[in-house]
Structure 1
Amino acid sequence: MAILEVEHLKKTYTTRLGSNRVEALKDVNFTVERGEFVAIMGESGSGKTTLLNLLAALDKPTGGQVRLNGKNLGELKEKEIAGFRRENLGFVFQDFNLLDTFSLRDNIYLPLVLEGKKYEEMSLRAEPIAKKLGITQILNKYPYEVSGGQKQRAAVARALITNPELVLADEPSGALDSHAADGLMKLFGEINEEGQTIVMVTHSVKAACSAKGVLFIKDGEVFHQLYRGSLGRDEMYQKISDTLTILATGGERDE
């Protein structure tokens, strides 16, 4: 069953003086099934970030629809958007977006604090997540006291604590060293195997290999979709690399 449906999505930006129009997204169509892990790839300027912003209800499309569980995000009223995001979406960012004046524990609790949950419930929800992510022993530390990999694990815990319908990740391994990045992608794979739906924007072929499918974007349109199926990790890596080469050298997009 499709949890996320993107139909004829368009986004056009007009310059300040109105003299120039930029088509960031032209006509994007795809679906994400419940429990899928999809990576979105493409060159800089291809429209990946614009697409992610629309999926996150951080921006409204010029045309088309984004539906999460049948709910058209473009029809959300301004006063509904923040609550909808907290209840349905979890976010993991490249730069972690942790508050340095909060402990890791309080950073993780923050979405539930905003929902008005009681401390006991927050603690009960956080405990198994922190244990799974291997950060139980550092919850009282502050972001500036821990490594990049530990910060990102705390950010993942914060994204998961609301039991979101969909986790959106923007270059989650981009600020990590290779060891921490590998660990994070392994965690993403495990979280996905437990049923969490994930959509991740990445430049990393290695990170994309953890996904069950890859959506390639070029010039504001879907260029190609690749599904893992029975492919091994090495085969997946090669297919992703080959597609990126075709994309970069001017190949034709899928019809």
Structure 2
Amino acid sequence: MAILEVHSLKKIYTTRFAGNQIQALSDVSFSVKQGEYIAIMGESGSGKTTLLNILAALDKPTSGMVLLNGKDITGIPDREMSAFRRDNLGFVFQDFNLLDTFNLMDNILLPLVLSGTPYQEMRTRLLPIAAKLGINDLLNKFPYEVSGGQKQRAAVARALITKPQLILADEPTGALDSRSTDELLSLFNEINQGGQTILMVTHSTKAASHAGRVLFIKDGTVFHQLYKGESTTEEMYQKISNALTILTTGGAKK
């Protein structure tokens, strides 16, 4: 069953001063099944960030539809958009987006506070997630007191605590060292194996090699895709590297 369906997305921006039009997305269509783990790759300017912003309901397409469990999110009124994102989507960002004036526990619970969730339910949700992510002993610490990897674990906990239909990750390993990157990718694998649907935008071949499918964006459209299938992570890494070479040298897609 498809949890996310993207149909013929087009996005055209008009520059403020010259009035020139820039086509960021030309015709993007794909679907995501419940429980899939998908990576989106492409060169800078390929349109992948624009695509992520539309999927996150942070921007609206010029034309096309995005269906989340059958609901077209491009038609949600602005006054309802924040609540929709909070209740249906989880976000993991490169720079963590944690509030330095809140400890990790308050950062994680913030989406539930904003939705008016009773305190006892917040605690009931928090404890197993914190235990699973190995941050039980860090909940009373502030973001500036913990490492980058620990901040990202808190950010993942915040994304999971609302029980989202879809987790959107934007370069989640970009600010992490190699050890923290390995830990986060292992964590994403575990979360996905538990049934969570994940869609990740990344420049990292290593990060993408952990996904079950990789979509390559070029010139505002889906240029190619790879399925991991029975391939090992190392084999998937090589497949992605080969595809990126074709993507950047202008060769034909395979």
Deviation per CA, 1:63-99, whole angstroms, max 9, x where unpaired? 1111100110111001110111011000000000000
Mapping of residues 63-78 of structure 1, within 5 Å? 63-78=63-78
Query: Could you say which residue in structure 2 is the equivalent of 1:231?
Result: 231
Query: Could you say which residue in structure 2 is the equivalent of 1:189?
Result: 189
Query: Could you say which residue in structure 1 is the equivalent of 2:3?
Result: 3
Mapping of residues 169-208 of structure 1, within 5 Å? 169-208=169-208
In 2: Cα distance, 1:236 partner to 1:252 partner: 19
Query: Could you say which residue in structure 1 is the equivalent of 2:58?
Result: 58
Does structure 1 conserve the Cα–Cα contact (< 8 Å) formed by 2:25 and 2:219? yes
SS in 2 for 1:235: helix
Gaps (5+ residues) in structure 2? Answer: none
SS in 1 for 2:90: strand
In 1: Cα distance, 2:247 partner to 2:216 partner: 8
Identical aligned residues as a percent: 69
SS in 1 for 2:52: helix
Query: Could you say which residue in structure 2 is the equivalent of 1:106?
Result: 106
In 2: Cα distance, 1:3 partner to 1:43 partner: 27
- How far does residue 253 in structure 1 lie from its aligned partner after superposition? 4.5
Is 1:165 the counterpart of 2:165 in the alignment?
yes
| RMSD of Structure 2 on Structure 1 (CA) | 0.8
**Matched residue type, 1:242:** N
In 2: Cα distance, 1:72 partner to 1:116 partner: 25
- How far does residue 24 in structure 1 lie from its aligned partner after superposition? 0.3
Residues 227-236 or 158-167, more deviating = 227-236
TM-score normalised to structure 2 length: 0.99
In 1: Cα distance, 2:22 partner to 2:42 partner: 18
SS in 1 for 2:16: coil
Closer, same or farther in 2 for the Cα pair 1:82/1:21, shift >3 Å? same
Query: Could you say which residue in structure 2 is the equivalent of 1:25?
Result: 25
Does structure 2 conserve the Cα–Cα contact (< 8 Å) formed by 1:107 and 1:158? yes
- Between Structure 1 and Structure 2, how many residues are aligned? 254
In 2: Cα distance, 1:32 partner to 1:71 partner: 14
- How far does residue 119 in structure 1 lie from its aligned partner after superposition? 1.3
Does structure 2 conserve the Cα–Cα contact (< 8 Å) formed by 1:212 and 1:229? yes
Does structure 2 conserve the Cα–Cα contact (< 8 Å) formed by 1:222 and 1:253? no
Does structure 1 conserve the Cα–Cα contact (< 8 Å) formed by 2:246 and 2:253? no
Query: Could you say which residue in structure 1 is the equivalent of 2:49?
Result: 49
In 2: Cα distance, 1:252 partner to 1:223 partner: 10
